Amino acid sequence: MKSNNRYLGAVMIAPFIIFVFLGGIYLKGFVFALSIIALWEFYNAVKEKNFKPVKSAGYILLIIYYLLNHNFELMMYVLVATVFLMLIIPVINLKYTFIDISLTLLGFIYCGILFGFIYVINAKPAGEFLVWIIFIGSWLSDTAAFYSGKLFGKHKLSPKVSPKKTIEGSIGGLIGATIFTGIYGIIVQRYINIMPIYNYFIIGALCGIFGQLGDLVASSIKRNVGIKDYSNLIPGHGGILDRFDSIIFSATVIFYYLTFIIKI
């Protein structure tokens, strides 16, 4: 039954691939919907420890961010003004604390801005090719890590955060992400010259590192609040944050590399 649920979960994830192919406004809308769900999962998770994030503020910030079309400069003004105003809330309403305010804003940044980098990368020049690096670097790293850990895993990577992960699996994930992303770059280079091929290998390695860290971050949050999965939305996979934890971090590191190193 568990195996069947995982296959069903994989089928439910398949539409995401379709939206990546479509790109543009379609991908933007789909990522926005996933971000809303992810934010809902995050806020529900921290409530398990009796924290009280101001959910409405987080959702409003997310909507504003997308209405501003991911304009970071304008969003910074909005975010600073929001922090300024929200810090007053615990003074007016004693049921809230500065921790609740902090978690409200953290949820927006984690599930809104970082998740939104998927669309932002797609919107870059040649983004219809670049956006696939996120998923190649993340999902193939996960696959390589799983089989490497299963075959060679003996030394625990971070037993207190994620007991099943091993150092050998982590190394396999890093190598897998680097090789497969590099191969993708070689193939893409035949059709369009976006950047020197070695950058694909570097980005793959970064995905192999930060994608796994993203997985551990999500696990750390769950362990701290005492939950197994963020939700049961995807059978056999948990919630959106369970399935896209590594993708969120991979998208972020790819965005920064393309923007500040390659200058796309």
DSSP per-residue string spanning 180-218: HHHHHHHHHHTT---S-THHHHHHHHHHHHHHHHHHHHH
Range of the domain at 209: 5-261
Residue with tokens 């924290």: 51
Residue 12 binned pLDDT confidence (cut-offs 50, 70, 90):
low
| Number of domains, the chain | 1
Paired with 141 in beta bridges are none
Q: How far apart are CA 244 and CA 226, in angstroms?
A: 20
Q: How far apart are CA 134 and CA 23, in angstroms?
A: 14
User: 31-45, 156-170, 199-213: lowest mean pLDDT where?
Assistant: 156-170
Looking at residue 146, what is its pLDDT?
86
Report residue 86 as tokens. 């929200």
**Burial (Cβ within 10 Å: 0-12, 13-18, ≥19) of residue 67:** exposed
Q: How far apart are CA 245 and CA 234, in angstroms?
A: 14
Paired with 158 in beta bridges are 162
Mean pLDDT of all residues in 105-116:
97
pLDDT tens per residue across span 127-143: 999 999 999 999 889 88
Mean pLDDT of all residues in 45-61:
96
Supply φ then ψ for residue 126, to 5 degrees: 65, 25
For residues 151 and 86, which has the higher predicted lDDT (pLDDT)?
A: 86
Q: Are 207 and 133 in contact (CB under 8 A)?
A: yes
236 pLDDT higher than 80? no
4 pLDDT higher than 60? no
Mean pLDDT of all residues in 32-38:
96
